[in-house]
A and B are shown apart, each in its own frame.
Chain A
Amino acid sequence: MKIYDGKYILVGLVIFIALASFPIWYSHGKAAPAPDPKLDTPVIKQMVNKQCVLPKQEMITGHMRLLNDWRTQVVRDGKRMYVASDGKTYEMSLQNECMKCHANKSQFCDQCHNYAGLEQGVDPYCWNCHIAPKENK
Protein backbone atom coordinates (compact mmCIF):
# COMPACT_ATOMS: atom_id res chain seq x y z
CA MET A 1 0.00 0.00 0.00
CA LYS A 2 1.24 3.42 -0.84
CA ILE A 3 0.33 6.57 1.00
CA TYR A 4 0.72 9.73 -0.99
CA ASP A 5 2.86 12.22 0.97
CA GLY A 6 3.14 9.52 3.67
CA LYS A 7 6.22 11.14 5.18
CA TYR A 8 4.44 14.38 5.91
CA ILE A 9 1.26 12.75 7.06
CA LEU A 10 3.05 10.47 9.52
CA VAL A 11 5.19 13.25 10.93
CA GLY A 12 2.10 15.43 11.23
CA LEU A 13 0.20 12.62 12.94
CA VAL A 14 2.99 12.06 15.46
CA ILE A 15 3.12 15.79 16.26
CA PHE A 16 -0.66 15.95 16.56
CA ILE A 17 -0.85 12.98 18.93
CA ALA A 18 2.00 14.35 21.02
CA LEU A 19 0.27 17.73 21.37
CA ALA A 20 -3.22 16.34 21.93
CA SER A 21 -2.03 14.01 24.66
CA PHE A 22 0.14 16.71 26.27
CA PRO A 23 -2.13 17.23 29.31
CA ILE A 24 -2.11 13.49 29.99
CA TRP A 25 1.62 12.79 29.91
CA TYR A 26 2.65 16.16 31.31
CA SER A 27 0.71 15.78 34.55
CA HIS A 28 1.22 12.02 34.78
CA GLY A 29 2.04 10.97 38.32
CA LYS A 30 1.64 14.48 39.65
CA ALA A 31 -1.75 14.24 41.34
CA ALA A 32 -2.67 17.29 43.43
CA PRO A 33 -2.13 16.48 47.11
CA ALA A 34 -5.32 15.61 48.92
CA PRO A 35 -6.69 18.45 51.01
CA ASP A 36 -5.61 18.34 54.62
CA PRO A 37 -7.70 20.72 56.72
CA LYS A 38 -5.95 21.42 60.01
CA LEU A 39 -7.75 21.45 63.34
CA ASP A 40 -4.81 22.55 65.43
CA THR A 41 -5.69 26.12 66.37
CA PRO A 42 -4.99 27.10 70.00
CA VAL A 43 -8.70 27.32 70.80
CA ILE A 44 -9.45 23.85 69.47
CA LYS A 45 -6.40 22.41 71.26
CA GLN A 46 -7.74 23.66 74.58
CA MET A 47 -11.17 22.14 74.07
CA VAL A 48 -11.82 19.05 76.16
CA ASN A 49 -14.70 17.89 74.03
CA LYS A 50 -13.69 18.63 70.47
CA GLN A 51 -17.18 18.93 69.04
CA CYS A 52 -18.42 21.29 66.34
CA VAL A 53 -22.00 22.45 65.90
CA LEU A 54 -22.92 19.21 64.15
CA PRO A 55 -21.13 15.83 63.99
CA LYS A 56 -17.99 15.96 61.84
CA GLN A 57 -19.40 14.02 58.91
CA GLU A 58 -22.46 16.26 58.72
CA MET A 59 -20.27 19.34 58.85
CA ILE A 60 -18.11 18.08 55.98
CA THR A 61 -21.04 17.44 53.70
CA GLY A 62 -23.46 20.06 54.93
CA HIS A 63 -21.60 23.11 56.26
CA MET A 64 -22.63 25.20 53.27
CA ARG A 65 -26.30 24.43 53.87
CA LEU A 66 -25.90 25.12 57.58
CA LEU A 67 -24.29 28.49 56.85
CA ASN A 68 -27.05 29.35 54.41
CA ASP A 69 -29.71 28.45 56.99
CA TRP A 70 -27.88 30.56 59.56
CA ARG A 71 -27.82 33.50 57.17
CA THR A 72 -31.57 33.20 56.69
CA GLN A 73 -32.23 33.02 60.41
CA VAL A 74 -29.97 35.92 61.36
CA VAL A 75 -30.49 38.33 58.50
CA ARG A 76 -34.11 37.70 57.66
CA ASP A 77 -35.64 36.46 60.92
CA GLY A 78 -33.40 38.27 63.39
CA LYS A 79 -32.63 35.11 65.36
CA ARG A 80 -28.98 35.02 66.26
CA MET A 81 -28.64 31.95 68.47
CA TYR A 82 -28.44 28.30 67.51
CA VAL A 83 -29.15 25.55 70.00
CA ALA A 84 -27.18 22.44 69.03
CA SER A 85 -28.47 18.93 69.65
CA ASP A 86 -26.20 18.67 72.71
CA GLY A 87 -27.86 21.75 74.20
CA LYS A 88 -24.93 24.07 73.62
CA THR A 89 -25.80 27.53 72.30
CA TYR A 90 -23.85 29.13 69.48
CA GLU A 91 -24.05 32.57 67.94
CA MET A 92 -24.90 32.07 64.29
CA SER A 93 -22.02 34.01 62.80
CA LEU A 94 -19.35 32.86 60.40
CA GLN A 95 -17.09 35.73 61.30
CA ASN A 96 -17.66 35.82 65.06
CA GLU A 97 -18.36 32.19 65.92
CA CYS A 98 -16.99 29.70 63.36
CA MET A 99 -13.71 31.54 63.03
CA LYS A 100 -13.25 31.73 66.79
CA CYS A 101 -12.22 28.05 66.75
CA HIS A 102 -11.27 27.70 63.09
CA ALA A 103 -9.01 30.74 63.16
CA ASN A 104 -6.82 29.24 60.44
CA LYS A 105 -8.67 30.01 57.22
CA SER A 106 -5.75 29.19 54.93
CA GLN A 107 -5.14 25.87 56.67
CA PHE A 108 -8.81 24.96 57.07
CA CYS A 109 -11.34 26.50 54.67
CA ASP A 110 -8.97 27.05 51.78
CA GLN A 111 -7.58 23.51 51.89
CA CYS A 112 -10.68 21.88 50.41
CA HIS A 113 -12.00 24.90 48.54
CA ASN A 114 -8.77 25.29 46.59
CA TYR A 115 -8.56 21.55 45.94
CA ALA A 116 -12.08 21.58 44.54
CA GLY A 117 -11.14 24.49 42.26
CA LEU A 118 -13.03 27.09 44.24
CA GLU A 119 -10.11 29.51 44.44
CA GLN A 120 -10.57 32.93 45.86
CA GLY A 121 -12.42 35.23 43.56
CA VAL A 122 -14.46 32.40 42.09
CA ASP A 123 -16.54 30.69 44.76
CA PRO A 124 -17.35 30.64 47.63
CA TYR A 125 -17.08 34.40 48.00
CA CYS A 126 -17.72 34.50 51.77
CA TRP A 127 -14.47 36.36 52.32
CA ASN A 128 -15.17 39.22 49.94
CA CYS A 129 -17.19 40.72 52.78
CA HIS A 130 -16.64 38.64 55.91
CA ILE A 131 -13.34 39.39 57.56
CA ALA A 132 -11.09 36.40 58.17
CA PRO A 133 -9.06 36.37 61.39
CA LYS A 134 -5.41 37.36 61.13
CA GLU A 135 -3.12 34.37 60.87
CA ASN A 136 0.51 34.01 61.83
CA LYS A 137 2.11 32.66 58.73
Chain B
Amino acid sequence: METSRRTFLKLGGLCTLGLGSFRVLDAFAKAEQPKYTANVQALTAKRWAMAIDMKKCWETGAPGCKECILACHVTHNVPDIGTRKEEIKWIWEEKYENVFPGQESGMEPEAIREKPFFVLCNHCKNAPCTRVCPTQATFKRADGITMMDFHRCIGCRYCMAGCPYGARSFNFRDPRNYIKTELNPTFPTRDRGVVEKCNFCEERLGDGKVPACVEACKCKALSFGDLEDPQSDVRKALASQFSIRRKPELGTEPGVYYII
Protein backbone atom coordinates (compact mmCIF):
# COMPACT_ATOMS: atom_id res chain seq x y z
CA MET B 1 0.00 0.00 0.00
CA GLU B 2 1.26 3.41 -0.91
CA THR B 3 1.22 5.99 1.87
CA SER B 4 1.90 9.61 1.27
CA ARG B 5 3.77 11.65 3.84
CA ARG B 6 0.57 13.67 4.34
CA THR B 7 -1.70 10.71 5.27
CA PHE B 8 1.01 9.30 7.52
CA LEU B 9 1.18 12.53 9.52
CA LYS B 10 -2.63 12.70 9.70
CA LEU B 11 -2.83 9.15 11.08
CA GLY B 12 -0.04 9.89 13.52
CA GLY B 13 -1.93 12.92 14.83
CA LEU B 14 -5.12 10.90 15.26
CA CYS B 15 -3.28 8.20 17.20
CA THR B 16 -1.77 10.76 19.57
CA LEU B 17 -5.22 12.21 20.19
CA GLY B 18 -6.59 8.74 20.86
CA LEU B 19 -3.88 7.98 23.43
CA GLY B 20 -4.39 11.35 25.06
CA SER B 21 -8.05 10.60 25.62
CA PHE B 22 -7.11 7.90 28.16
CA ARG B 23 -5.93 10.65 30.48
CA VAL B 24 -9.28 12.41 30.12
CA LEU B 25 -11.12 9.15 30.88
CA ASP B 26 -8.93 8.63 33.95
CA ALA B 27 -9.85 12.08 35.23
CA PHE B 28 -13.55 11.29 34.88
CA ALA B 29 -13.13 7.91 36.57
CA LYS B 30 -11.38 9.56 39.52
CA ALA B 31 -14.36 11.79 40.21
CA GLU B 32 -16.22 8.70 41.43
CA GLN B 33 -13.52 7.51 43.84
CA PRO B 34 -14.55 7.25 47.50
CA LYS B 35 -13.88 10.31 49.57
CA TYR B 36 -11.47 10.24 52.46
CA THR B 37 -11.22 13.32 54.64
CA ALA B 38 -9.60 14.38 57.87
CA ASN B 39 -11.73 14.88 60.93
CA VAL B 40 -12.88 18.52 61.05
CA GLN B 41 -11.84 18.74 64.71
CA ALA B 42 -8.33 17.45 63.99
CA LEU B 43 -5.42 19.58 65.18
CA THR B 44 -2.97 20.35 62.41
CA ALA B 45 0.51 21.80 62.28
CA LYS B 46 3.48 22.25 60.00
CA ARG B 47 5.74 20.61 62.54
CA TRP B 48 4.62 19.21 65.87
CA ALA B 49 7.09 19.69 68.70
CA MET B 50 7.30 19.50 72.46
CA ALA B 51 9.09 21.49 75.14
CA ILE B 52 9.72 19.76 78.46
CA ASP B 53 10.30 22.21 81.29
CA MET B 54 12.21 20.01 83.71
CA LYS B 55 12.70 22.90 86.14
CA LYS B 56 8.95 23.32 86.46
CA CYS B 57 8.51 19.57 86.80
CA TRP B 58 11.01 19.30 89.66
CA GLU B 59 10.02 22.50 91.44
CA THR B 60 6.24 22.43 91.28
CA GLY B 61 5.51 18.76 90.64
CA ALA B 62 4.97 16.26 93.43
CA PRO B 63 8.12 14.25 94.17
CA GLY B 64 8.16 11.03 92.15
CA CYS B 65 5.19 12.13 90.04
CA LYS B 66 4.81 9.93 86.96
CA GLU B 67 1.41 11.08 85.75
CA CYS B 68 2.66 11.60 82.18
CA ILE B 69 4.05 8.08 81.93
CA LEU B 70 0.93 6.56 83.42
CA ALA B 71 -1.39 8.52 81.12
CA CYS B 72 0.62 7.39 78.10
CA HIS B 73 0.58 3.75 79.12
CA VAL B 74 -3.16 3.80 79.78
CA THR B 75 -3.87 5.51 76.46
CA HIS B 76 -1.72 3.22 74.34
CA ASN B 77 -2.01 -0.12 76.12
CA VAL B 78 1.73 -0.16 76.81
CA PRO B 79 2.72 -3.43 78.49
CA ASP B 80 4.94 -3.77 81.54
CA ILE B 81 7.08 -6.82 80.81
CA GLY B 82 9.07 -6.44 84.00
CA THR B 83 12.61 -6.93 82.73
CA ARG B 84 14.92 -4.19 81.47
CA LYS B 85 15.91 -6.16 78.42
CA GLU B 86 12.37 -6.50 77.10
CA GLU B 87 11.05 -3.24 78.49
CA ILE B 88 8.55 -1.39 76.25
CA LYS B 89 9.14 2.37 76.43
CA TRP B 90 7.08 5.24 75.03
CA ILE B 91 7.93 7.91 77.61
CA TRP B 92 10.26 7.05 80.46
CA GLU B 93 12.73 8.41 83.01
CA GLU B 94 16.45 8.73 82.45
CA LYS B 95 19.36 10.41 84.25
CA TYR B 96 21.06 13.55 82.94
CA GLU B 97 24.27 11.77 81.93
CA ASN B 98 22.28 9.38 79.74
CA VAL B 99 19.97 12.02 78.30
CA PHE B 100 22.70 14.47 77.30
CA PRO B 101 25.89 12.43 76.90
CA GLY B 102 28.76 14.58 75.71
CA GLN B 103 27.04 17.71 76.95
CA GLU B 104 27.83 17.22 80.62
CA SER B 105 30.39 19.48 82.22
CA GLY B 106 30.84 17.24 85.22
CA MET B 107 30.16 20.23 87.43
CA GLU B 108 26.38 20.35 87.19
CA PRO B 109 24.40 21.00 90.33
CA GLU B 110 23.70 17.84 92.27
CA ALA B 111 19.97 18.23 91.57
CA ILE B 112 20.40 18.09 87.81
CA ARG B 113 22.69 15.08 87.98
CA GLU B 114 20.38 13.11 90.24
CA LYS B 115 16.86 14.18 89.17
CA PRO B 116 15.00 12.16 86.55
CA PHE B 117 14.45 13.53 83.02
CA PHE B 118 11.50 12.45 80.95
CA VAL B 119 12.49 11.17 77.53
CA LEU B 120 10.44 10.02 74.56
CA CYS B 121 10.74 9.72 70.79
CA ASN B 122 12.19 13.01 69.53
CA HIS B 123 10.28 12.94 66.23
CA CYS B 124 13.48 14.09 64.54
CA LYS B 125 13.38 16.14 61.38
CA ASN B 126 16.08 13.89 59.91
CA ALA B 127 14.94 10.68 61.54
CA PRO B 128 17.54 7.92 61.07
CA CYS B 129 14.94 5.26 61.88
CA THR B 130 12.85 6.12 58.83
CA ARG B 131 15.90 6.00 56.58
CA VAL B 132 16.89 2.50 57.62
CA CYS B 133 13.43 0.92 57.68
CA PRO B 134 13.34 -1.52 54.75
CA THR B 135 9.54 -1.66 54.54
CA GLN B 136 8.77 1.99 55.25
CA ALA B 137 6.81 0.84 58.26
CA THR B 138 8.19 3.90 59.99
CA PHE B 139 7.99 7.14 58.09
CA LYS B 140 7.77 10.91 58.46
CA ARG B 141 4.37 12.50 58.22
CA ALA B 142 3.98 15.91 56.64
CA ASP B 143 3.36 17.39 60.10
CA GLY B 144 6.69 16.15 61.44
CA ILE B 145 5.50 13.11 63.36
CA THR B 146 7.68 10.03 63.01
CA MET B 147 4.93 7.49 62.57
CA MET B 148 4.84 3.72 62.91
CA ASP B 149 2.67 1.52 60.74
CA PHE B 150 2.51 -1.62 62.86
CA HIS B 151 0.85 -3.50 60.00
CA ARG B 152 3.97 -3.17 57.90
CA CYS B 153 6.64 -3.76 60.52
CA ILE B 154 8.52 -7.02 59.95
CA GLY B 155 10.48 -6.79 63.20
CA CYS B 156 13.95 -6.48 61.69
CA ARG B 157 14.90 -3.88 64.34
CA TYR B 158 17.06 -1.79 62.00
CA CYS B 159 15.21 1.26 63.34
CA MET B 160 16.25 0.36 66.87
CA ALA B 161 19.86 0.26 65.76
CA GLY B 162 19.36 3.50 63.85
CA CYS B 163 17.71 5.49 66.64
CA PRO B 164 20.39 7.31 68.65
CA TYR B 165 17.99 7.91 71.54
CA GLY B 166 16.87 4.37 72.35
CA ALA B 167 13.30 5.45 71.83
CA ARG B 168 12.20 2.21 70.22
CA SER B 169 11.23 -1.06 71.84
CA PHE B 170 10.75 -4.51 70.41
CA ASN B 171 7.98 -6.89 71.38
CA PHE B 172 9.88 -10.08 72.13
CA ARG B 173 6.64 -11.71 73.25
CA ASP B 174 2.90 -11.18 72.95
CA PRO B 175 2.38 -8.00 75.00
CA ARG B 176 -1.33 -8.63 75.66
CA ASN B 177 -0.72 -10.60 78.83
CA TYR B 178 1.54 -7.92 80.29
CA ILE B 179 -0.72 -4.89 80.10
CA LYS B 180 -1.02 -3.94 83.74
CA THR B 181 -3.16 -0.85 83.17
CA GLU B 182 -6.82 -1.03 82.28
CA LEU B 183 -7.17 -1.93 78.60
CA ASN B 184 -8.10 1.03 76.40
CA PRO B 185 -10.60 -0.49 73.95
CA THR B 186 -10.21 2.35 71.44
CA PHE B 187 -6.50 1.79 70.76
CA PRO B 188 -4.96 -1.46 69.53
CA THR B 189 -2.32 -3.44 71.36
CA ARG B 190 0.75 -4.64 69.49
CA ASP B 191 1.71 -8.07 68.22
CA ARG B 192 4.78 -10.14 68.98
CA GLY B 193 7.60 -9.22 66.61
CA VAL B 194 6.89 -5.54 65.98
CA VAL B 195 8.71 -2.43 67.13
CA GLU B 196 6.83 0.34 68.90
CA LYS B 197 7.43 3.83 70.21
CA CYS B 198 5.77 7.13 71.05
CA ASN B 199 3.53 8.39 68.24
CA PHE B 200 3.04 11.93 69.63
CA CYS B 201 -0.57 10.79 70.18
CA GLU B 202 -1.36 11.18 66.51
CA GLU B 203 -4.68 9.40 67.09
CA ARG B 204 -5.61 12.02 69.71
CA LEU B 205 -4.47 14.91 67.49
CA GLY B 206 -6.72 13.45 64.80
CA ASP B 207 -9.60 13.78 67.24
CA GLY B 208 -8.67 17.32 68.26
CA LYS B 209 -6.97 16.46 71.55
CA VAL B 210 -3.43 17.24 72.74
CA PRO B 211 -1.15 14.31 73.65
CA ALA B 212 -2.09 12.35 76.75
CA CYS B 213 1.15 13.18 78.63
CA VAL B 214 0.68 16.91 78.03
CA GLU B 215 -2.90 16.72 79.24
CA ALA B 216 -1.97 14.63 82.30
CA CYS B 217 0.87 16.85 83.56
CA LYS B 218 -0.47 18.70 86.59
CA CYS B 219 2.26 21.38 86.67
CA LYS B 220 2.04 22.12 82.93
CA ALA B 221 5.69 21.25 82.43
CA LEU B 222 5.00 19.85 78.98
CA SER B 223 4.11 22.28 76.19
CA PHE B 224 3.05 21.00 72.82
CA GLY B 225 2.36 22.78 69.57
CA ASP B 226 3.41 23.83 66.11
CA LEU B 227 7.09 24.74 65.97
CA GLU B 228 6.47 26.97 62.95
CA ASP B 229 3.71 28.97 64.64
CA PRO B 230 5.14 31.73 66.91
CA GLN B 231 1.87 31.82 68.86
CA SER B 232 1.92 28.12 69.81
CA ASP B 233 2.49 26.94 73.38
CA VAL B 234 5.77 25.32 72.52
CA ARG B 235 7.18 28.42 70.84
CA LYS B 236 6.10 30.60 73.75
CA ALA B 237 7.81 28.27 76.21
CA LEU B 238 10.98 28.20 74.11
CA ALA B 239 11.01 31.95 73.46
CA SER B 240 11.24 32.84 77.14
CA GLN B 241 13.76 30.25 78.31
CA PHE B 242 17.02 28.65 77.21
CA SER B 243 16.54 25.12 75.93
CA ILE B 244 18.69 22.26 74.70
CA ARG B 245 18.06 19.21 72.58
CA ARG B 246 19.45 15.69 72.83
CA LYS B 247 22.62 14.87 70.87
CA PRO B 248 22.51 17.92 68.58
CA GLU B 249 25.85 16.93 67.04
CA LEU B 250 24.14 14.11 65.13
CA GLY B 251 22.09 16.52 63.04
CA THR B 252 18.85 14.66 63.59
CA GLU B 253 17.07 17.89 64.59
CA PRO B 254 14.95 16.55 67.47
CA GLY B 255 11.47 17.95 67.97
CA VAL B 256 11.65 17.63 71.75
CA TYR B 257 13.29 20.52 73.63
CA TYR B 258 14.45 20.52 77.26
CA ILE B 259 14.34 23.54 79.52
CA ILE B 260 16.64 22.97 82.48
Contact = CB atoms under 8 A, between A and B. Distances in A.
- Indicate, yes or no, whether A interacts with B: yes
B38 interface: yes
B149 A78 contact: no
A8 to B, nearest CB: 54
A79 B37 contact: yes
A82 to B, nearest CB: 6
Contact of B36 (A79, A85, A96): A79
Nearest to B184: A131
Contact of B188 (A81, A83, A130): A130
A49 interface: no
Interface stretch (A10-18, A30-38, A68-76, A109-117): A68-76
B191 A83 contact: no
A69 B36 CA distance: 10
A interface SS class: mixed
B141 interface: yes
Interface size class of B (residues with CB under 8 A): 20 to 34
B192 to A, nearest CB: 8
Contacts of B150: 129
B191 A125 contact: yes
B186 interface: yes
A69 B35 CA distance: 11
B39 A81 contact: yes
A78 B206 contact: yes
A76 B206 CA distance: 13
Interface string B132-156: 0000000101110001011100000
Nearest to A66: B34
A131 B76 CA distance: 12
A18 to B, nearest CB: 44
B202 interface: yes
Contacts of A81: 36-39
Contacts of A85: 34
A135 B149 CA distance: 28
Nearest to B189: A129
B35 A82 contact: yes
Contacts of B141: 78
Nearest to A76: B149
Contacts of A96: 186
A5 interface: no
A61 to B, nearest CB: 16
B37 A76 contact: no
A131 B151 contact: no
Interface of B: 34-39, 42, 139, 141-143, 147, 149-151, 174, 183, 185-192, 202, 206
9 contacts: A69-B34, A76-B149, A80-B39, A80-B42, A80-B206, A82-B37, A125-B191, A128-B174, A129-B190
Given A79-B37, A84-B34, A131-B188, 9 more contacts: A71-B149, A76-B139, A76-B147, A76-B149, A79-B38, A82-B35, A95-B186, A131-B185, A131-B189
